[in-house]
Amino acid sequence: MRKPKKERQILLKETIEQKPFITDEALAKLFQVSIQTIRLDRMELNIPELRERIKSVAASNWNETVKALPLEEVIGEIIDLELDKRAISILDITKDHVFSRNKIARGHHLFAQANSLAVAVINDDLALTANAEIKFTRQVVEGERVIAKARVLGQDKPSRTKVEVESFVDNEMVFQGDFVMYRSNQ
C-alpha cells in the first residue's frame, strides 16, 4: 500500500541510511511509486544520487590508495580498501555488459571486476595475476548490482600473494575466484 508523502520520505531517508547503495529503481519498487517520485523525494530531502552516495561512503571508509594500477582502471567502483587485507567494489550491470539477446552479463565483466579488485588490494607498485581458479555460480542479468569482496589469504611464495574474491548479487554468490598474484617487492 502506498504511503503518504511525508511518511514515505521519512521511510526513504531511513532506508537509504541503512542501505546507502540501494538504487532508485529498487526504492521505487519498495515504495510502489515511480522512479521520478523517488528522485523528487531525494531532491527535497537533499539526498544525493547513488553514484555520489557511493563516492561519499568510499571516501569516509578508506584512506589508502590503490598502488598497483590507476584507480580508473579498476572495473567497478571501490567502496572499501585496506591494502594487503581486503577490498570491496560495486559494479552495476548495464546494457553494455550483457548479451543483447538474453540480457545475461558476459562473464569477462565479472572476471574483470574480480581480477582488478585482486590487483587493487595488493600493496605494491606492481601486481599481476599469476594464476586464477574461477567459478561462476549463477547468471547475472542487466539491472543487477554485483558486489565483489576481495580477501588476502597470505603469501604462497615470497613474491606471490593469494587473494580470494567472491561476488554477490543481493546476498547470493554469483562468482568465486582464487587468485595468485605476483608482486614485485615481497
Q: What is the pLDDT of residues 104-134, one digit of tens each?
A: 999 999 999 999 999 999 988 888 999 999 9
Q: Which three cell numbers stand for residue 99?
A: 548479451
The reply to whether the predicted model has a pTM over 0.75 is: no
Which cell goes with 140?
Answer: 547475472
Higher pLDDT, 166 or 61: 166
- How far CA 172 is from CA of 42, 85, 107, 140, 162, in Å, comes to 28, 23, 16, 11, 23
- Please report the pLDDT score of residue 49 as a whole number: 85
62-106: per-residue pLDDT in tens?
A: 545 777 777 778 899 888 888 899 999 999 999 999 999 999 999
String of b and e for 8-41 (b: at least 16 CB within 10 Å)? bbeebeeebeeeebbbbebbbeebebeeebbeeb
- Residue ranges and CATH numbers for the domains of the chain are 5-54 (1.10.10.10), 62-183 (3.10.129.10)
Mean pLDDT in residue range 166-180? 95
What is the predicted pLDDT for the residue at 55? 66
